[in-house]
Chains A and B, each alone.
Chain A
Amino acid sequence: MSGVRLLVGTKKGAFVMTSDGTRDDWSIEGPLFTGWEMYHLKGSPADPNRLYASQSTGWHGQVVQRSDDGGKTWEPVGNEFAYDGVPGTHQWYDGTQHPWEFARVWHLEPSLEDPDTVYAGVEDAALFRSTDGGQSWHELSGLRGHKSGENWQPGAGGLCLHTILINPDNPERIVVAISAAGAFRTDDGGETWQPINKGLRSRELPDEEREVGHCVHRIAMNPSRPETLFMQKHWHVMRSDDAGDSWQKVSGNLPSDFGFPISVHPHEPETVYVVPIESDSEHIPPEGKLRVYRSRTGGNEWEALTNGLPQENCYVNILRDAMDVDDLDPGGVYFGTTGGQVYASADGGDSWTAIVHDLPSVLSVEAQTLS
């Protein structure tokens, strides 16, 4: 019997939610790691019982937890994220150079093939990899060492590497995204990187052709078509059909093209989900209505999905890592809010129910499809 396991990270602990393939009834385990900020949890595609979790507080810094039994038990693994060589500096808010300083792990991306290999996207922006199940971490410093690195400047949320997409057809090709530097791609397994920001337009930047400095909030892809990428940028929803070499705006009729998460339907590579947010200065849903927008045409034409979502007096936000899809048929879509709700749709977004209403602020949601 198939099922779904949701790994939900919140500001005060983690929750594991499970359901059978109907996705009607959910059991909720947690909070795990109570009181800690759980930025992200993710399972290995090669072994669904192997989970990794990023755990941190301002008091005690970073811890990484690993489970080998689907989240029933956990053990702390390595938490030393040392930048390679002399760390150097990047641009600070006031235009001066600032030393690279590790703050936390934003995103963990297990290898598609090896449960012991996992990537970590961290703040200040860098990509680390472990090949021993999280016990030790080594920086792929070619990214931070790109000649543009000293010009990267943090956004309001920090200089965070939040998106890691491994190409299933060619695992040597990895796309990452950094706020507020932009998107980057390696084609040689992480040795060398190139910015992939052509076509992005950021009105905060006077130079429209600028190579870096774009505030990418999230990138998503359907594994069956890894050259097609969808991006929720600070403003604008974008798509690329050449693995990021060029981007086109596909915001179309969205009520606002500001937002954080973006996801692609598991079986329909032209079906995309975003959650429009009023603006970068307000961070609330337009008109107090929580609406997921779906495009079945790869962008430009969007429809509001509202059935089961609050359509008045709703002022929550949905953070960049807090939406995901399962792999069942029909496809499931899930997202968590800063108000502590986790919503689920078992019909591709046509209707929604709240699995839970009153969690701490949700930082991340990952869906595992279990066979």
Chain B
Amino acid sequence: MPQHLRTLAGVDGEVTLDVNGSPTQRTVLDALEASYPTLRGTIRDHGTAKRRDFIRFFACGRDITLESPDDPLPEEVASGAEVFRIVGAMAGG
């Protein structure tokens, strides 16, 4: 996660999450927000659950930001061998 989100959540580096069912962007973020409620609204909009404009999602060396939030994540992420990366986009200023 970006530094600001790690600070908000009070964590260092990676976090490990238990996800019910097949991991997708949506279920991973649901699990993340359930474990760290202070992150609600900082990655996705509260009401619509729409990704904030300057947040990107990477997995296995690919930018999967624009894939459906309900698509299964790569097996390497699901197994825990690879991380699901939440990235603050380069966006000026």
> Which of B14-22, B42-50, B60-68, B72-80 interfaces with chain A?
B42-50
A62 at the interface (CB under 8 A from B): yes
Partner of B4 from A36, A62, A80 at Cβ < 8 Å:
A36
Tell me if B88 and A59 are in contact (CB < 8 A): yes
Q: Are B40 and A58 interface neighbours, CB within 8 A?
A: no
Closest to A35 in B: B4
A76 to B38, CA, bound (A): 6
Do A59 and B54 touch (CB < 8 A)?
yes
On chain B, which size bracket covers the interface?
Answer: 20 to 34
Taking a contact as CB atoms under 8 Å apart, the answer to whether B52 and A80 are in contact is: no
Main secondary structure of the interface of A (DSSP, over half): loop
Please, what's the 1-or-0 string for B1-23, where 1 marks a CB less than 8 Å from any CB in chain A? 01111001000000000000000
Partner of B89, one of A59, A62, A80, A82: A59
A256 within 8 A of B: no
Count how many chain A residues have C-beta atoms less than 8 Å from C-beta atoms of the other chain: 13
Q: Which residues of A contact B55 (CB under 8 A)?
A: 59-60
Contact B54 A79 (CB under 8 A): no
Judge if A63 is at the interface, Cβ distance under 8 Å. Answer: yes
Residues from 69 to 100 in A contacting B, C-beta threshold 8 Å: 76, 79-80, 82
Chain B residues contacting A130 (CB-CB under 8 Å) are none
* B69 interfacial by beta-carbon distance below 8 Å: no
In the complex, A57 has a CB within 8 A of chain B: yes
Secondary structure dominating the interface of B: loop
Residues of chain B contacted by A79 (CB below 8 angstroms): 40-42, 46
Chain A residue with minimal CB distance to B52?
Answer: A61
B81 on the A face (CB < 8 A): no
Contact status A63-B91, CB under 8 Å: no
Contacts of B89 in A (CB 8 A): 59
Which residues of chain B come closer than 8 Å to A80, judged between CB atoms? 40-41, 46-47
Minimal beta-carbon separation of A126 from chain B (angstroms): 14
Residues of A close to B52: CB separation below 8 A:
59-61
Task: Tell me the complex Cα distance, A302–B39, Å.
Answer: 49
| Closest 9 pairs between A and B when the two form their complex, measured CB to CB | A60-B42, A76-B38, A80-B46, A59-B54, A79-B41, A59-B88, A61-B41, A61-B42, A82-B47
Known: A58-B91, A63-B41. 8 other contacts (CB 8 A): A58-B54, A58-B93, A59-B54, A59-B91, A60-B4, A60-B42, A61-B41, A63-B38
